[in-house]
Structure 1
């Protein structure tokens, strides 16, 4: 009996030693999965650009591809209307979902997936480390950088022609953030990838352009709080190690809490001519 108790005690000790290691492996796997999602989204932008004659990219929210009418702007173009996540579908192996939306030259086609009762769950938009998202939901665990993909505040109407690769990104694709991690449901606000989130606090006429953020020059640049208290208008770190971001060149890097607001803003602005600080 004593020998049996000793064996049981040894097994219990081994299990206690193994559990933290198993948890670390799981966290690393989830982190790598999110990294792969970010990479796919960023590389999809290059595939989009290669399929247009002038390297045009979809806006954070609007019609794409752009019409030929000179009077068109990002709210009055031919093509499909929706957030950038909708326009990326054909380039992340979700062409059938994209085609299942109603066709035409107007209308929130991303929302029409909902209206028509079509499937909207996209694995690439789900981060395993995001406790507010899973494969049963049509939410996004990622955010779009509005400095790169939304109408500049001073260029409303026809003066903004949409982002282009590489013209819009004069600071370099390796120095510009395209997407960042963020809770699908931060602080009670649901981030549907297929529709805009209207809120008076959002830029661009109160539209948040789907899951997105406008890089800030004040701290914190991203939140490390749990979903219940995380800020909805900024990226959210899934753990204390920092938040992962996809650069426009397809690379993915981790940004820690030590980054300064100035460096963060420079990394998000595609053409301010700023030099990234040593904390990048």
Structure 2
């Protein structure tokens, strides 16, 4: 008993032995740990963001392919690709302008929605939509929305994918785009080949009622335009506008229901992600510079008339981009 007791050592309270364990960590150890964790987060976060963007871009490519499959299904039924817009003059000062996207609805398994649209009612711009068609304005169609666009979830009936209607509405060759107004386009009219003709690309949805954005929105232009080379004239005119004097329209891409460059079309006058902000004049088709853009870093996805989808970099040669925008211009261009 005495031998067992003698193995223990009694110390005064408050004194520690050399081998006693400490509770907690020092400030230096804490800072080192936080620094290591921060470094790991800094290395992992870009990889996670890149993976998410790759997934969104893949979903975007899928949406464009679905749109082209629908367009080809329309062509098989109606002997030609769908018109860029349909409608006409109903009365003096009153017209209607319905998009190509409307015509694709039955081929996207949305026949009931298509049947709910009254194509005989007026509706040129969003404030002028006839009450009979107002019910479809806020219907979201996932196939029309790019998941990389932050506004895709915020705006109801918005659209991210626009159709190519040529260099500009003022250009002599304005009807050389992949789609033309009021009639179907037969495949024989794609003299450059459907694999060389740009059909759909991307464009950010307008900022709506929030603060304007030079990337998303377009500025009103009231000046005169040189009639020679209108595509270049529009680029020069929009570039010359002073930032402080720009009056922005924020409803771009706000409705898949309506046709024209304000809502569902774009021009190839400027390259993808053109550094020159869009500008133009209000009309039922949209007149001005309305360039393809996207939130994918470095370029845009582009669907060709044969149904393939390509990646077009922002640095693409402008002449090549414009050549892709014509269906019968005699140019055979490899966008790579």
Q: How many pairs does the alignment contain?
A: 243
Aligned equivalents of 2:275, 2:203: Cα separation in 1: 11
Q: Hey, what does 2:264 align to over in structure 1?
A: 211
Q: Hey, what does 1:275 align to over in structure 2?
A: 332
Answer yes or no: is 1:181 the counterpart of 2:231. Answer: no
Q: Would the aligned equivalents of 1:243 and 1:255 in 2 still touch at CA under 8 Å? A: yes
Q: Would the aligned equivalents of 2:159 and 2:256 in 1 still touch at CA under 8 Å? A: yes
Question: Which consecutive residues of structure 2, in runs of 5 or more, have no partner in the other structure?
Answer: 1-23, 91-95, 176-180, 207-215, 218-249, 280-288
Aligned equivalents of 2:106, 2:326: Cα separation in 1: 27
Aligned equivalents of 1:115, 1:258: Cα separation in 2: 41
1:195, distance to aligned residue in structure 2 (A): 1.4
Q: Hey, what does 2:213 align to over in structure 1?
A: none
Classify the secondary structure of the residue corresponding to 2:303.
Answer: strand
Deviation per residue, 1:232-274 (Å, 9 max, x gap): 6111132442111101111111111222221111111011111
Answer yes or no: is 1:92 the counterpart of 2:115. Answer: no
Aligned equivalents of 2:122, 2:272: Cα separation in 1: 30
Structure 1 residue corresponding to 2:64, chosen from 21, 38, 43: 38
Question: Which consecutive residues of structure 1, in runs of 5 or more, have no partner in the other structure?
Answer: 64-73, 197-206
Cα distance, 1:183–1:89 mapped onto 2, change above 3 Å: same
Structure 1 residue corresponding to 2:135, chosen from 117, 121, 126: 117
Q: Would the aligned equivalents of 1:100 and 1:113 in 2 still touch at CA under 8 Å? A: no
1:222, distance to aligned residue in structure 2 (A): 2.5
Structure 2 residue corresponding to 1:255, chosen from 304, 312, 315: 312
Q: Hey, what does 2:231 align to over in structure 1?
A: none
1:147, distance to aligned residue in structure 2 (A): 2.9
Q: Would the aligned equivalents of 2:302 and 2:310 in 1 still touch at CA under 8 Å? A: yes
Classify the secondary structure of the residue corresponding to 2:146.
Answer: coil
TM-score of the superposed pair, with normalisation by structure 2: 0.62
1:7, distance to aligned residue in structure 2 (A): 5.4
- What is the Cα-based RMSD across aligned positions, in Å? 3.4
Cα distance, 1:97–1:129 mapped onto 2, change above 3 Å: same
Answer yes or no: is 1:222 the counterpart of 2:240. Answer: no
1:123, distance to aligned residue in structure 2 (A): 0.7
Q: Which has the larger radius of gyration?
A: 2
Classify the secondary structure of the residue corresponding to 1:178.
Answer: strand
Classify the secondary structure of the residue corresponding to 1:262.
Answer: helix
Aligned equivalents of 1:46, 1:151: Cα separation in 2: 29
Structure 1 residue corresponding to 2:188, chosen from 145, 167, 180: 167
Matches within 5 A, 1:121-140: 121-134=140-153, 136-140=155-159
Aligned equivalents of 2:113, 2:257: Cα separation in 1: 11
